[in-house]
């Protein structure tokens, strides 16, 4: 069995600065680089690096950025035959500013990601019979996401949704079809309508999301770890202490490894531990896909963790 990532594909333009700019402020940076990105693309590469066969379904523009993206994905081992080239717009672009602590701010020009439609759902549907997991982000039109979720449900594929960027109004009919929802604190706040910033509010938010119909909720809390709520119980898994260089794609590393563990037949708790390890490793390097861990470093850290 394999995995599918369905959603956004970008090229990242990254600037390193001493601190994140305030409104109206210009901050002089000391480095610039481009990196392959987009949440679905990142998550696909995260799975491929861990040895999981994965298809990516999405769109790019007919531009040099798109060619660069395709070459990078293919080199990483991601199947790219379900990626459509859109002649009428540019490849998605993310302009990312990263400060000395590794925190970041991102502005995104969605480009071809906005053009996903039912043709892309049809491409997805042709891949679902061989898939065990479908990972979806929200960087594409919501009606397309709804159709993709419905198709995956019929095919009995495990559906993981990374609700980023979180919309103001998430279609309520999608919640009961989600097997695993993985918001961070900001996305959880947007989904439930109150600040999610401590263990009490995290637990309350997870309960509300489960009451909306989600089977399993994982709220990621950055350096604090993650809180998980399932039909059976709830539990907290602490983060792994590392030196943070860049937090870009930490969530994608988490989700990709989570999905990889499920494809590999691991339990839910083991899958969350896989995500925690991948997220920790990703923040020790710069960039999005360039920071995603390879098998050797991943399994070395995984087996070193107590109680695994």
Q: Tell me which residues are annotated as active site.
A: 252
Whole-angstrom distance, CA of residue 43 vs CA of residue 109: 19
Q: Are 91 and 130 in contact (CB under 8 A)?
A: no
Chain centroid to Cα 203, Å, comes to 22
Q: Are 183 and 220 in contact (CB under 8 A)?
A: yes
Which residues pair with residue 32 across a beta bridge?
A: 15
């Amino acid at each position: 069995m394999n995995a599918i990532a369905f959603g956004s594909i970008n090229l990242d333009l990254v600037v390193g600065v001493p601190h994140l700019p305030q409104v109206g402020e210009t901050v002089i940076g000391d480095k610039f680089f481009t990196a392959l990105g987009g949440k679905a693309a990142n998550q696909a590469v995260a799975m491929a690096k861990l040895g999981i066969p994965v298809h990516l379904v999405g769109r790019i523009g007919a531009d040099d950025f798109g060619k660069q993206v395709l070459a990078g994905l293919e080199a990483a081992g991601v199947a790219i035959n379900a990626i459509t080239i859109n002649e009428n717009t540019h490849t998605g672009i993310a302009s990312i500013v990263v400060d000395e602590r590794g925190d970041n701010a991102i502005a995104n020009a969605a480009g071809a990601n906005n053009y996903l439609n039912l043709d892309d759902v049809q491409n997805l549907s042709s891949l679902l019979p061989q898939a065990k997991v479908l990972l979806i982000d929200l960087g594409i039109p919501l009606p397309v996401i709804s159709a993709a979720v419905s198709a995956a449900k019929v095919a009995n594929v495990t559906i993981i949704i990374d609700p980023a960027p979180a919309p103001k109004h998430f279609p309520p009919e999608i919640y009961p079809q989600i097997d695993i929802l993985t918001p961070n604190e900001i996305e959880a706040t947007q989904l439930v309508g109150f600040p999610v910033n401590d263990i009490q509010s995290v637990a309350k938010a997870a309960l509300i999301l489960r009451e909306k119909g989600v089977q399993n909720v994982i709220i990621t809390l950055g350096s604090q770890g993650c809180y998980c709520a399932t039909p059976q119980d709830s539990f907290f898994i602490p983060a792994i202490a590392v030196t943070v260089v860049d937090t870009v794609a930490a969530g994608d590393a988490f989700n990709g490894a989570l999905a990889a563990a499920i494809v590999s037949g691991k339990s839910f708790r083991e899958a969350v531990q896989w995500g925690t390890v991948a997220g920790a490793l990703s923040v020790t390097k710069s960039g999005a896909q360039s920071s995603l861990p390879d098998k050797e470093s991943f399994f070395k850290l995984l087996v070193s963790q107590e109680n695994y």
